[in-house]
Amino acid sequence: MTGAAVTDEMTGQAFEVRARTVVNATGIWAERVAELAGGPAAWHLRPSKGVHLVFAPGTVRTTAAVVAPSAARDGRYIFIVPWEDTGSTPARPTPRTRATWTPRRSATPTGTTILAAVAGLFTGVSDRDVVASWAGLRPLLSQG
Ligand SMILES: Cc1cc2nc3c(=O)[nH]c(=O)nc-3n(C[C@H](O)[C@H](O)[C@H](O)COP(=O)(O)OP(=O)(O)OC[C@H]3O[C@@H](n4cnc5c(N)ncnc54)[C@H](O)[C@@H]3O)c2cc1C
């Protein structure tokens, strides 16, 4: 069959969809899904952990984006990006930070590592200033 066998998760109804082309857009699961369809096992995708912290307005004061090494100087970097800055009040940006790195075992929670790097750059910033955080895996390409 060219198409897909799908199940409506709401009703449980299973049916087939026929198509000339099927696009596999399943993110970090794309290669696993391709294998389900009988495709060759390929491991070009390397899930990479991404974490965002959002800081309260006025706590991380920058009007420019900043790239900085992690506090541990272990080859990882954080990005500090002003977010939803009104422009008219540059002293009160709401920066968010994003860390990108390859997954590795660590005794230190990722958010703590980011926070240490931000606090090293912006005096007085602490975990009390974090108003939101989220994390997930991104589909980066392996270098192999
Ligand atoms: C914390 C974090 C921060 C990020 N920040 C940025 C950023 O600032 N800028 C940027 O450009 N990118 C960012 N990214 C990366 C970006 O989110 C991803 O690159 C992008 O979402 C990938 O899109 P996609 O459509 O390929 O996959 P996804 O968005 O992952 O979508 C895949 C979909 O396939 C579905 N699916 C999987 N398997 C199956 C299956 N068997 N059957 C049916 N459905 C299935 C999933 O449920 C999902 O809905 C970030 C990622 C994370 C985790």
CATH 3.30.9.10 maps onto the chain at: 47-141
Domain 47-141 part of CATH 3.30.9.10: yes
For residue 76, what pLDDT is reported? 78
Pocket of ligand 1 (CB under 6 A): 25-27, 29, 33, 50-52, 98, 134-139
Q: What is the DSSP letter of 77?
A: E
pLDDT at 50 over 90: no
Q: Nearest to residue 106, comparing CAs of 79, 75, 134?
A: 75
Which residue lies with its CA nearest to atom 50 of ligand 1?
138
For residue 15, what pLDDT is reported? 95
**What pTM did the predictor assign?**
0.69
For residue 74, what pLDDT is reported? 77
For residue 103, what pLDDT is reported? 44
In whole angstroms, how far apart are CA 4 and each of 14, 16, 25, 77? 11, 6, 13, 41
Mean pLDDT of the 119-130 span: 89
Mean pLDDT of the 68-77 span: 79
Least confident of 10-24, 53-67, 104-118: 104-118
For residue 93, what pLDDT is reported? 34
For residue 42, the one-letter residue type is A
Q: What percent of the chain has pLDDT over 70?
A: 80
pLDDT at 110 over 80: no
Residue among 22, 26, 48, 134 to mutate when testing ligand 1 (max atoms within 8 A of CB): 26
pLDDT at 133 over 50: yes
- Residue 85: pLDDT band (50, 70, 90) is low
Task: For residue 52, give the ligand 1 atom closest to its CA.
Answer: 1
